[in-house]
Chain A
């Protein structure tokens, strides 16, 4: 799949924001005043930036409101609804934390649950797509959730949670890659099934339908070298989870947390880039790209 910067930014940033909101909502740490302003502000800024980035991906952002209508069936619609619901439900809790020195725990808990489901919904947008076998796996929401929670915990200064989160995330990432590498084959789709000619012999694309490129190829067919991918996986794993975890094991300082955060974000950007770039869409079978 085409690793669109808007989508990479969106999933990483809004994931972080909603992850932070989960912790802020749960009230394990209940900042008030300026601290609350900064943390809630950060969470809203991150989710907002993510959503704006996502809007860049739309052909008709002016019609974005229509995306709130299909929550019954569409994960993308659910995500939109849940994201807004989260932000709305959290708003009084946040305001109260900032201005009244005390949150509204019920709303906070509700908001945390909503934030969690928002992250899940985001992940499900990808995980539901059977045509992209690498995504169509339970590890996809796990990675999304853990990334958001670990990153959120880091932002929220929940060092222990963040540490465990990072460790869990590293395992989840590895599991996602290992499973992902098998998924295409496991999906059962091949040039043979795509054309229905598999029983006749070995099927190979002879001539594509057009000599140039098209939307499908740009959007859905992106070939990353295996060696390249391997290197990037190591970078994602190291920066996104292991280095932050290591830093969190050391005596905590603002600097180490900040470095851990930067590493985590950088690592997650790489992970997300790979998430898209490595994912093969079965449509590639029609273009001899597999």
Chain B
């Protein structure tokens, strides 16, 4: 192919580039733009780009909202863990008082030693159970678990805490019976 033929071929390609410009702005470029300007498509492209920009902004707003919702969920989950921690602390105080009363009971009562020993052992186990609860809640906060896993773990701990609460009430009753 001679240099002249190459020039013609290139020109044909350039011209065909002008006439094949569609409405897709991604196929624009200089030639497309010139073609659009002369044919009125430039405004269409501007509008389309604006529309696309608006779409991107809407997507961004959606993502921001989702992130905000996730952050809020996370904060709410952590707040629930915090509330649980307060409940555990309150129960630990109650158990400490029960333990104190149990010690007094031992000092006062010589009889029924077997039941007192049993009570003391169960109070010790209850204390250990509450310590586990407290440290499990601490671990939960920095665990890096997802919301769902964290929620499940919190529910497990809550169910276990309810069991410990029932044991505490039973031991309180035992302690009162022994004190009479």
Q: Are A and B a genuine interacting pair, yes or no? A: no
